[in-house]
């Protein structure tokens, strides 16, 4: 059994001001982590999440920046290190999902999504690989659609396939540094990003797909992420499908 203590460990969570990212931030803070809550544009929301943690007796700050901008993210890492003395865990939940058949997808949309999902993950992973302390963890985010291959998800799944490749290779490149690198691949999860634009019938159908017959909740994803961030030290170079048993 792992004896990794989470109290006082420092986590930087991109996209931490809402959705799954916020659930991850709140779970880690409850386990004693000091948390840097990253935002791309909604500083007020990130400040509110941080303030809630501080009011509950935890430690948190908000840090901003475009994940695909290496200079902005270097500053975010600097701010987290200055506030807390170092970084142990980097969790990259930030991402964009645009749905369309491949035959009709606007290429500007493709470029925008891939800039955030692929370049953004690369930038954050590169910085994390050079700055996370021994005993730490890097956790990226993929999607179960890389396996389920649902129509209209082609470009999004392609971007997350790239995330999976980066994750698995980086885990091997960090041999000897005592840093784990994994990816979490959620299935349908009840976030505003997922629910937006879907009618009730579609949502009900997707909720019945997993054998557990419900949508995932952000807390379900946060639980798996917290395991990889702390006690799951023997899980490395893996894609962890957190989807209630979908194929």
pLDDT recorded at residue 130? 98
Candidates 135, 128, 228; CA nearest to 177 is 135
C-alpha angle with apex 18: 17 to 22, nearest 5 degrees?
A: 75
- Would you say residue 68 has pLDDT above 70? yes
- Would you say residue 1 has pLDDT above 50? no
pLDDT recorded at residue 2? 44
pLDDT recorded at residue 198? 84
How far apart CA 138 and CA 237 sit, in angstroms, is: 10
- Would you say residue 12 has pLDDT above 60? yes
81-113 pLDDT, tens digit each: 999 999 999 999 999 999 999 999 999 999 999
pLDDT recorded at residue 171? 98
Output the six-digit token pair for 74.
């270097």
Residue matched to tokens 């129509």: 151
Candidates 109, 213, 198; CA nearest to 150 is 198
Q: What is the pTM of this model?
A: 0.95
Q: Is 39 part of the annotated catalytic residue set?
A: no
User: Hey, what long-range contacts does 69-76 have (CB within 8 A, 24 or more apart)?
Assistant: 69/123, 70/123, 70/126, 70/127, 73/123, 73/124, 73/127, 74/127, 76/12, 76/36, 76/38
Domains and their CATH numbers in the chain = 10-241 (3.40.50.720)
138-162 pLDDT, tens digit each: 999 999 999 998 999 999 999 999 9
- Would you say residue 226 has pLDDT above 80? yes
Report the C-alpha dihedral over residues 176, 82, 55, 192, rounded to 10 degrees.
-60
Mean of pLDDT over the chain: 95
Q: Percent of the chain, pLDDT > 70? A: 98
Q: Find the mean pLDDT for residues 64-71.
A: 98
In sequence order, the β-bridge partners of residue 39 are 64
Catalytic residue among 33, 39, 153, 156: 156
DSSP 136: E
- Would you say residue 244 has pLDDT above 90? yes
């Amino acid at each position: 059994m792992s004896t990794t203590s989470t109290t006082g460990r420092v986590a930087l969570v991109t996209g931490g001001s809402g959705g799954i990212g916020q659930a991850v931030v709140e779970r880690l803070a409850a386990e004693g982590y000091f948390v840097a809550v990253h935002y791309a544009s909604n500083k007020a929301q990130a400040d509110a999440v941080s303030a809630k943690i501080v009011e509950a007796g935890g430690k948190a700050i908000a840090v901003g920046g475009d994940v695909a901008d290496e200079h902005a993210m270097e500053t975010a890492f600097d701010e987290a290190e200055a506030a807390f003395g170092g970084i142990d865990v980097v969790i990259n939940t930030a991402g964009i999902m645009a749905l369309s058949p491949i035959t009709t997808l606007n290429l500007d949309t493709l470029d925008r999504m891939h800039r955030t999902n692929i370049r953004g993950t690369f930038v954050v992973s590169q910085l994390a690989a050079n700055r996370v302390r021994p005993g730490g963890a890097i956790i990226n985010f993929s999607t179960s659609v890389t396996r389920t291959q649902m129509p209209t998800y082609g470009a999004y799944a392609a971007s997350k396939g790239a995330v999976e490749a980066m994750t698995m290779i980086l885990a091997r490149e960090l041999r000897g540094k005592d840093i784990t690198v994994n990816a979490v691949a959620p299935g349908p999860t009840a976030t505003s990003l997922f629910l937006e634009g879907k009618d009730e019938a579609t949502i009900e159908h997707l909720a019945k797909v997993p054998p557990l017959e419900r949508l995932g909740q952000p807390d379900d994803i946060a639980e798996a992420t917290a395991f990889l961030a702390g006690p799951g030290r023997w899980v490395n170079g893996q894609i962890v499908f957190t989807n209630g048993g979908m194929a």
